[in-house]
Every structure is written in structure tokens, then in C-alpha cells.
Structure 1
């Protein structure tokens, strides 16, 4: 089920409001008729009781009109013209409007989904909107990624509500199922981020994505245990992040060199102080040593592989290289944060 970012009133609440409005309108009509009951003629000619007033109000508002009770005096006919007839129209609007609203809402939702699918391309699919999923989304937004290019796949009802309230398109369902990933248009996605809470689910999602996309979509997965990282790589994941190992290294780093943890957090947080960023090599930089640049380059990405700058090996920048560098707030507008 596809949930577009839309805040609306619940159907049961909307229906209950209409029922209350219809009942209130009937009671108001009964009160008006009962107050002027002497102006109506009954076929029995025994006067109108309260039940007769209810009967006349219901058949009049529902446009049935049996004719056994009719307004006889000028005042009663004036009440019918000024009150009963408008009330009849309003009563029909309340009843028919509920059905029309449901049909219109379904049509509108289908139209919005169709428009969304036509515009959807090169998007990022986030499988799981837990702690890791929300952090991944926050990182994408901080680097300038647009909300309409992020699709959340979540099976938990609480996660679905939270993601939808944040303004994201949500596919409700199990990401291990092909139909759910097809609803997210995985074949046209730029990448899939797997941020589930269970390693076995991450493996199954990776296999499903690889099967549907023939390995054309980049898969980034997070696992808890180091021993499952190799399995995810074999399943088709391009990048695997081991959350337990990463947390352990940071804990150890905090113990042995406390100030370094602040530097690491600063580098991993876009928009605050220093941050890792990546950009394409400029024409004037081709052939030069990366260490000679004003920009503090820490690595090169060449044909999809990382080329470290450590050691005494002399490297020169080639056409098509990507530069991984450390930027500050003054150069925040250049490059893409990573």
C-alpha cells in the first residue's frame, strides 16, 4: 500500500460527523413541524402527533412524499418553502456527499500516485524507518537531497505514520517481497539503503533487490554482526556497514583519544564545521598531485575504486577522478557531502 504525504481526517470520524449532521437536521425539521402542527392536514383528520411529525419530516427530507400529510395553511406552506425544501437538499448533500467524497478521494489518490510514478526517477529507497533509517534520511536531507526523491519502505504501523507525518512517500509492506519493492519502483532507483533491525532480513532484501534490478541499482546495507557482512557482499550489496564494529571502534577511540571522537563526529555531520565531501576533478587539476591542491584531498575515487594518498607513491589526478576532500563552512556550497 502506497501512502503519499497527506494529512486528512479519518473515514470513520468523517462518517460519524455526517450521521450526526443528518440526525440533527431531522430533529430540527421535526421541531419546526411540531411547532406548526395545526397547519398540516392529515388524511385521518385527527391532528399530528409527535410520531406523525417524525414521519412527515423523514419522508419529506428523503423526497419520498406519500402525500398523506400536507401543509394546509399559508404559514405551514411558507415553512415548507423556506425551511423544509432547503433542508431536503442539505439532507441529500450530507448523505450523497459521503459516497461522493469516498469516490473522489479514491480517484484523487489514484491520480496522485500516477503523477508521483511518472516523476519518480533516480530516487533513493530506504528499507526500514527505525533509528538507522531515520539517520540515513537525515543525512540525505542535510546534503541537499529532496524529500520527493526519497521513498520509505516500512512494515511497522508506527514507522509508517511517522514517515508519512514527516512528509515522505511510504510503501507499507515487507521489503523482502518483490511486489512491495516494485511499488517503490526499485528498477528506476538510484540506490537502496537497507536499514532493518535484523541481519537475516537485510540479506533477503539484498537478494530480492539484486534479482529485480539485475545488479544495476546500488545497494547499501547495515548489519549488526561482522560475520554477516561477507554474506551480504555475496548477496549483492555494494557497501556494507557493520554497526556493532563501527560503534566499538568509536568507543575504543573515545577511550584512548577522546578528542578524536569529536573530529570524527564533525566530519560525519554535514553543515557543521568540517565535513567530508566529494567532487569531480577540474580540468586544470588533471595531471597534478592531489597534495598540491589548496583543497585538502584525502583520497581519490578512480573507476569506482578508492585510491588512498598515503605512502610515498606519487599520484597524479586523471580525467574522471573524484576527489574526496575535507571542506569547511566557507566551501560548503562546492561539491557533494558524503
Structure 2
């Protein structure tokens, strides 16, 4: 067993470990207010209650008796307010007049209850929040099955998630893995679960429940990282469909050898689109339209319907590009196609309807 070290790998791992001390898995949630701001507000409220109590005692200091010197000054008023609200009650300063006792009954006692509610409520909220988060995490892990794991939440990763979710996949069934806590915060803000860490490490992928995933999308920034992630993911899950993106075309065979079912070469694809746009701006415009899912034209994969069985690809209502028969992809004009069969799937170009959701059995084939 060999260990591969890549440039910057240790630094990324150390950075991930720093963020993983308390939050390794983040579930999407709506945070109304920052926790520190909530605590600060409660502390200010407690200080306000304490100040009001001390001022009430100071204004009516003649109605109180101090066992040490008989008089109650400003400091004694704060002291009395502190020991009273905290229910310590040493008894060295006591209300002796009727007015002072009535003030203690109807004003200071409610303030004492409010003070305790603020302090105890803050403590209970912290404890219950932690327990609730643990419960949510355990429940999430126990119910997560056949989900999609996306490694990398950059431009490619975001676009891939949008394309997959257009088929009806719920956001709860998507887990994003990225070494940056800010990126994961952005993912959870959009409704996806996130795992902070280096995806080349098996323990990080295990937190994303990769061994139970149905699809794995690898959209890292570096090709060597994509290779290591593919190797690790394939080792943990033998049956998942793994699709990876690389920048250089020469690295595509290495990714396939590592276990990727499909490899998308971003650099060469962009280069071909640039060249096509130079030779034929109209053709380049059409290709760009196909790439942008959800508007203009879309290329999809769909099953053959009963009315199309026995027909040739050109005889269908849609513009058929290829026919998927078993594990073979045949061109529309391939003589081996003959007539369409019920078990075939068609790759077609259709007019996209903005705002509409793609049927679950229809797969968009091109993503941004």
C-alpha cells in the first residue's frame, strides 16, 4: 500500500482538520440570527434587569437596613440587587419599610424571575441546540440512501447539481463535499447537506455516506485530486455511477482506470466550442444553447414509448440524435438500429420549457 502526497495536500488537510473540530457535517438550516448576537442580547437584557433593580433599591435606600453600618449607599444597592436576583440572599441588607417590601414583592421578585429565565434559558438553549443537532445528524445518516454526492461546489459542481435536481431529485438527497467551510456554508444555505474535508481521505467520504450513494459527481479544481477522489470513492462504493471532470484530455484515461464511468474534459470541450464559434458563429450559438440547460434547446435521454415501437428514429416526433440499446450507443443513421424497440432509450433534442421540471425518467445530458 503506497501513500501519494500531492502539492498542497497536507496544507488542505490541516485546514480541513481545523474546521472539522466541531462541525464535520453541516445540514441545511435557516439561521435567523447569529448565536453570538443572541447571547449578547441576553447578556444585555440581564444587565438591564440588574441595573433597574439596583436603581430601585438606591432610590428607596432609606427603606433598607444594612447590618454592617445601618445605611445603604449606591454600592450596597448594586450588591443587594446582585445577591437578590441570583437568589443568594445573604440577609445582611433587608427591606424594613412597607414601601421597600411592596417593591420587593411586586417589582424585584418578577425581575428576579425574569433574570433567571434569561440565564437559565440561554444555558438550556445551548444544550438543547447541541442535542437537537446531534439528533438531526443521526436521523439524516440513518435515512440517507441512494443519494448523490458532489465533490467540489465550484461552477462545475453547482451546475451539475442544478442539472440533476431538474429531474426531480430533492435537495435533501444531495451531499456536497468541499475543504472550504465558506463553500459548505454556501451549499447549506441553498438547502444541501455539506461535509467539510479533503475528499481524497476515505473518512471524509464516509461522512458523506458515499458507500450508500447511487451517483458521485467529482468536480474538483485539480486533475490529480480528481484521480485520488475517484480511487477512494470507487474503493468505498463498487456500484455507484461516478462521473468526473478533468481539465486536460490526457488525464481522462487515468480517471477511467481509477474507476470513473464517464469523464468530462472541460478544457478540450471549451476549446472545441471556441473553434466552432470561430468557424460558424451560428453553430457555436446552437451548441451554447444546448449546454445551457433549461432554456432554448435541451438534449435529453428518454425511454421509447409504445407508439414509437417499430418506427425508425427519423419517424418519431422528436429530433433523435442517438439510440441507446443495451450498453451500446448507436447513431440515428446506424443500420444496426433498424426499428425502435420498447427497451431502447432515445437521445433527443427538444425545445426547453422555462420553469418546467424534467420528468424523473428523462435525463438531461448536457450541463454547463
TM value normalised by structure 1: 0.93
1:192 aligns with 2:216: yes
The gaps in structure 1 that reach 5 residues or longer are none
The residue aligned with 1:122 is: 146
1:254 to 258, 277, 292: 277
Within a 5 Å distance, the mapping from 1:146-165 to structure 2 comes to: 146-165=170-189
The residue aligned with 1:19 is: 43
1:211 aligns with 2:235: yes
Q: CA deviation at 1:138?
A: 2.4
1:292 to 284, 297, 315: 315
The residue aligned with 1:32 is: 56
1:132-156 Cα deviation digits (max 9, x unpaired): 1122122223444322222111111
The residue aligned with 1:272 is: 295
2:258 to 227, 232, 235: 235
> Does 249-258 or 86-95 show the bigger shift?
86-95
> Does 45-54 or 300-309 show the bigger shift?
300-309
The residue aligned with 2:134 is: 110
Other structure's SS at 1:233 match:
helix
2:88 to 64, 74, 84: 64
For 1:288 and 1:101, locate their aligned partners in 2 and report how far apart those are by CA, in whole Å: 66
Other structure's SS at 2:243 match:
strand
Q: Give the total of aligned pairs.
A: 337
1:15-34 Cα deviation digits (max 9, x unpaired): 22222222222111111110
Other structure's SS at 2:157 match:
helix
Other structure's SS at 1:260 match:
helix
* Residue pair 2:163, 2:364 contacting (<8 A) in 1 also: no
For 1:144 and 1:166, locate their aligned partners in 2 and report how far apart those are by CA, in whole Å: 16
1:242-271 Cα deviation digits (max 9, x unpaired): 111001000100110111111112222333
The residue aligned with 2:78 is: 54
For 2:251 and 2:296, locate their aligned partners in 1 and report how far apart those are by CA, in whole Å: 35
* Residue pair 1:160, 1:172 contacting (<8 A) in 2 also: yes
**CA 1:186/1:225 → structure 2, altered by over 3 Å: closer, same or farther?**
same
Other structure's SS at 1:263 match:
helix
Other structure's SS at 1:307 match:
strand
Other structure's SS at 1:323 match:
strand
1:167 aligns with 2:214: no
* Residue pair 2:42, 2:122 contacting (<8 A) in 1 also: yes
1:272-299 Cα deviation digits (max 9, x unpaired): 2221111112234334322222222111
Other structure's SS at 2:175 match:
strand
TM value normalised by structure 2: 0.86
* Residue pair 2:299, 2:348 contacting (<8 A) in 1 also: yes
* Residue pair 1:30, 1:54 contacting (<8 A) in 2 also: yes
> Does 271-280 or 67-76 show the bigger shift?
271-280
